[in-house]
Amino acid sequence: MTDQKTDLLGLTPEELAAFLKELGEPGYRAGQIFGWLHGKLAASFDEMHNLPGPLRVRLQETCEIGGVSIEKRLASSIDGTVKYLYGATGGDFVEGALMRHRHGNSLCISSQVGCRMACAFCASALGGLSRNLTPGEMLGQVYASARDLASGGTEIPDKIGSVVLMGIGEPLDNFENVCRFLELLSHPEGFGLSLRRVSLSTCGLVDGIRKLAKKNYPLTLSISLHATNDEARSRIMPVNRKHNLADLMAACRDYFAKTGRRISFEYCLICGENDSPADAQALAALLKGQNCHLNLIPLNSVSERDFARPDPAGVRGFQTKLEQLGVSVTLRRELGADIAAACGQLRRRANDNK
């Protein structure tokens, strides 16, 4: 059965060596296989032509490589954004999106099957959490899309320049797996993506932020803020009832003090909820003194949710007000408008069709 197979993608070179030693293989095999998996992005053991045939057969029978495949690919005809529906072990689906920027391609991947954070505006939260993704399944998303790009599946052979953990799930709710994923993704003998090219977004799990600070990874931490006072934030983000804004902002200040890495705050603009001039004022006051950047995201409406985005003039007005108040702020460019059901919607549709 597939779920009993050992996923070699989630193993460090040292663990791979120990695993292969058990099979009676010489020490150098681990380096060869790690190189095939994380450097050449092999999708099958058949490709590993410098391994002895019987070993390849044995690995094929007892092991897997991430267990993630691309089930569906939707490409935007407007800007080349690609949305991926990935299939994982056990018939689960998650989502990713490849966005094309002037400075390169960035791939957004999922960290969990579903999510238990229950944010009121988010499609990924509908249906709750099914399970955590393993490190191999997170790498599997990156490598499947990297292979897709390299094979010209998206017109121009191309590569992934950065990875963002902003798809389905709450990465800090799957802390250990996410850390292992990051360490394998950036391993110099493997894919070797610098963690400077990785962003991790959290809804504000304070304990997780503090644990992440101790890791001192050079990644960019994004905080989904979305409101400026506890009453409003708890209404749309239940996590705030456990970790209030004062605790969250203190954890952010400590994160910066420890890592020296500027935090990026995300603020999703929801019409009538958090987009008034008074909200802009309160937001500027909240961020005052933080070494940070603010990213405004006009809400993607989700059919099951009763929220709307402000009109373009409202969005512009909110941004201008913040600029006048001295906040470093950008507006997230909308990509893939013709394909981008808000994150989590593709998976919902796939599940409905099961």
Q: Would you say 220 or 224 has its CB closer to ligand SAH?
A: 224
Closer to ligand SAH by Cβ: residue 284 or 299? 299
Q: Which is nearer to ligand SAH, 11 or 168 (CB)?
A: 168
CB of 8 or CB of 340, closer to ligand SAH: 340
Residue (132 or 300) nearer to ligand SAH, CB: 300
Cα distances (Å, whole numbers) of residue 265 to 192, 225, 298, 305, 351: 27, 6, 14, 23, 32
The number of CA neighbours under 13 Å toward the Cβ of 239 is: 26
Min. distance of Cβ 220 from ligand SAH in angstroms? 12
CA distances (Å), origin 298, targets 48, 268, 309:
46, 6, 6
Query: Least Å distance between CB 282 and ligand SAH?
Result: 18
| Span between the terminal Cα atoms of the chain, in Å | 21
**Least separation, in Å, of the C-beta of 83 and ligand SAH?**
14
Smallest separation, CB 31 to ligand SAH (Å): 35
CA distance 107 to 94: 14
Least distance to ligand SAH from the beta carbon of 170, Å?
Answer: 4
Verify whether residue 115 is a known catalytic residue: no
Q: Which of 299, 310, 234 is nearest to 266 (CA)?
A: 299
Q: Which residue has the tokens 């032509």?
A: 49
Q: How far is the CB of 216 from ligand SAH (least distance, A)?
A: 21
CA angle 88-94-98, nearest 5°?
115
Residue 151 CB coordination number (10 Å) = 9
How open is the CA angle 143-149-152, to the nearest 5 degrees? 140
Q: Which is nearer to ligand SAH, 9 or 203 (CB)?
A: 203
Q: 64, 95, 137, 266: which is the annotated catalytic residue?
A: 95
- Do 139 and 181 contact (CB within 8 A), yes or no? yes
Residue closer to ligand SAH (CB basis): 61 or 306: 306
Length of the chain: 354
**Contact indicator for 96, 81 with CB cutoff of 8 Å:** no
- Integer angstrom CA distances of residue 78 from 82, 99, 204, 298: 11, 12, 33, 19
DSSP H or E stretch at residue 284? helix 277-287
Q: What are phi and psi of 347, to 5 degrees?
A: -65, -40
SS3 124: coil
Alpha carbons 186 and 160: distance in angstroms, whole number: 13
CB of 129 to ligand SAH, least distance (A): 11
Please report, as ranges, the residues that interact with ligand SAH according to CB under 6 A: 117, 119, 121-122, 166, 170, 201-203, 224, 266, 268, 297, 299-300, 302, 342
Residue 29, by phi and psi: left (phi above 0), alpha (psi -120 to 50) or beta? alpha
| 176 included as an active-site residue | no
Instruction: Return the active site residues.
Output: 95, 343
